Amino acid sequence: MSRPLIGVLLLALALRIGTAIAFDGRTFSADEAHWQRMAESLWQGGLQSAEAGFFRPPLYPLFVAWIYGTLGYEPLAVRLLQAVLSAATCLVPFALARSTYGERAGLYAALLTACHPLFIFFSGVFMAETLLLLCTGLALWCVQRVVDQSNIPNAVGLGIILGLGALCKPVLLVWVPLLFVMLWRAGAKNRTRGVGHMAVVFLTLVITIVPWTLRNKEVSGHFVPISTNLGINLLVGHEPSATGRYSDDADYWQMFREIARGEEDPVLRDALVARHVLRGMVAQPLRTVRLAAIKVVSLWIPFGQDPSIIRVTVLGLMGISVLLLGAIGLWHMRHSFVCWSALSLLVALTGVHALFFAHIRFRLPIDLALIAPIACWLADAMSRGERCEST
């Protein structure tokens, strides 16, 4: 590991540890409290805890419960370990960019990841985003390994990481079909072997998820592959006053209860709400399409509903900058599989959130996927500039 890379990692770690300490004892959303309650239920009641439920995916609460089981109830320890994982995530864009455009591109990618404001912020809060970023980055790296050397161990590794990513946020499952298309195209010289390795990826992914599915069946009596939050996510994006973004002023849970009509079973309740919202979407197709367009724009140009004009402006300009530079970087790397794996992830996540709703935190995996292409374009531009100066 080079000294510049060590310096970048230490910078990333220092920024994140400072954030962890500054955020200790603070809560920024109701979601944090819910993640915390689920983790505490798993810590105190074990995997079969009915209180933990199955509304949210389990990987992050299990991670927090493991820390509490090892160190006792130490929220700061959770934040500090998240700081370490977030800093370590810098290695993934570094590896992807270095494999394509060399050490300089890798260092640029690591530095961009280290200093990304949203990566730093979410490393200090009790939400699944830090684990999601790590899983997403490792998945992109594993995809590249499968392309470079298609064999069963690499396919198994990719399947495990995709399974863990799905247990962190099931939206990553939408990426899998597009990813398989990319892998199939990459293995044009030996399609039969490539299809076999994709089957290994899929089987390993399923095996990774199945233990939690069996746990959900034992606790709920229903087949719940990962979680039961489809209904509420659809409702946020399509309720009568929906704007495409999450609104702090809307009482989504009251709407949810009214639609569920007193149903007590959480699995059946979620299914009732999901069916109700889907029927409304089909009945008003033009409204559904209009809201989807608004969500896509809000996702890519995140001038959000924040009381601080400064934060709104900074986040909006940052979102536009990443979008523009990312598009340039993707075009610059259009002959590399790093480009196509990143692009397939972007398409999948954009589609998911066009269906649900837009939020600034949904940009995190997208930005991570764009960092390597941006860094490669910057490194190439710097190299061309230096060559011009020397002539």
Run means of pLDDT, 10 residues per run, the chain, 391 residues: 90 96 85 90 89 90 94 93 96 93 92 94 94 95 88 92 95 91 70 77 96 93 92 93 84 90 89 94 95 90 66 77 89 86 92 90 92 91 69 60
What's residue 385's pLDDT?
66
Q: What are the C-alpha distances in Å from 243 to residues 250, 287, 288, 295?
A: 11, 11, 11, 8
What's residue 304's pLDDT?
58
Q: Which residues neighbour 161 within 8 Å (Cβ) at sequence distance 6 or greater?
A: 135, 138, 139, 142
The model's pTM is 0.91
Which residue in 372, 308, 352, 361 sits closest to 166, CA to CA? 352
Tell me the Ramachandran region of residue 150: left when phi exceeds 0, alpha when psi lies from -120 to 50, beta otherwise.
beta
What's residue 188's pLDDT?
52
Task: Identify residue 203 by its one-letter amino acid code.
Answer: L
Q: Cα dihedral sign for 303, 319, 328, 365?
A: negative
What's residue 321's pLDDT?
86
Cα–Cα distance measured from residue 166 to residue 360, given in angstroms and rounded to the nearest whole number: 20
Cα–Cα distance measured from residue 296 to residue 377, given in angstroms and rounded to the nearest whole number: 25
Task: Identify residue 80 by its one-letter amino acid code.
Answer: L
358: which strand partners? 245
245: which strand partners? 358
Angle in degrees, CA 11, 16, 21, rounded to 5: 130
Exposure string for 17-42, b = 16+ CB within 10 A, e = fewer: bebbeebeeeeeeebeebbbebbbbb
The answer to whether 96 and 109 are in contact (CB under 8 A) is yes
